[in-house]
Structure 1
Amino acid sequence: MNTIIKGSYGRDLQVRQYSTLGLSALVKELDAQGVDPARLLTGTDLSLATINDPNTRISHQQKVQIFRNMQQSMVKPDSALLAGQHQRISDFGIYGYAVLSSRTFGEAVDFGVRHVRLLGPVFEKSFHLEGDEGVFTGL
């Protein structure tokens, strides 16, 4: 039997309700590639100082623009994986907590999906089992 757990966000792309957790890893990776990290923030009205400020809140639209800028600025095609090496467990917010406090990956995902409002700017997340495999979807 498949178990499906869902959570949703509001649809206003302009509301600044999301933290900048993890974005400093993108800054570090661009810098490591010799690219001016300020390029990451073009068109967002953010500064490099705001990325490290835990009180900064950004909109879904700003975060998408940051990802677009990363894609256009990166030198290496595996930049997302390389940036992941700069991440801390706390950059994953509630999922980081879930991973540290759960016995299995499935328990961590279940916890995170049930607390989806705390996770970040993805409109809908779901997790279900297909046989022995877990399927996690973010839309």
Structure 2
Amino acid sequence: MMIKTQPKLLNKKIYSPYKIAALVTTATEQGIAAGVILKGIRLSQEALLHPGTLVSIKQYIDACENAIEAGVNFSTPFETGTKLHLTAYGMYGYALLSSPTIRDYFNFGVKYHPLATPTLNMTWT
């Protein structure tokens, strides 16, 4: 199942692998080997720790599909989310933290969402 995203960004390796790393950590805590999550995405567990590693949205989606096929717990998205902090998002995360109002936070978040390995389109009203 392919999630609708911006097609031109789908295979571009321009994102930090922090979301994949968090998913791998969560899956290994559930007894699923990292290699199972990374199967077929051409990325090693060691590369997840390297600051120069860049990944694509497609690699992240494939890792998520691998996790589902491996039988991760239903709580996995929430457990993975607890490992993702705004500081992991670099300047995008810092800017969100610095927003003076909740309206500014959401306006900024939607406008610059493509910086955060977007797997879907985001809007708010």
Determine if the TM-score, normalized by the shorter chain, exceeds 0.5.
Answer: yes
* Unmatched runs of 5 consecutive residues or more in structure 1: 1-7, 129-139
Distance 1:12 1:75, change over 3 A: closer
**Larger radius of gyration between Structure 1 and Structure 2:** 1
Mapped to 2, the partners of 1:30 and 1:111 lie a distance apart of: 31
Structure-to-structure mapping, 1:14-53, within 5 angstroms: 14-53=11-50
RMSD across aligned positions (CA)? 2.4
Mapped to 2, the partners of 1:71 and 1:109 lie a distance apart of: 30
The structural deviation recorded for 1:77 is 0.9
* Amino-acid identity (%): 27
- The structure whose residues are more often strand, as a share, is 1
The structural deviation recorded for 1:28 is 1.4
1:84 aligns with 2:81: yes
What is the TM-score with the length of structure 1 in the denominator? 0.72
* Unmatched runs of 5 consecutive residues or more in structure 2: none
Runs of 4+ in 1 over 4 A off after TM superposition: none
- The structure whose residues are more often helix, as a share, is 2
What is the TM-score with the length of structure 2 in the denominator? 0.78
Comparing 9-18 with 21-30, greater Cα deviation is found at 9-18
Mapped to 1, the partners of 2:21 and 2:89 lie a distance apart of: 12
Partner letter of residue 107 of structure 2? Answer: D
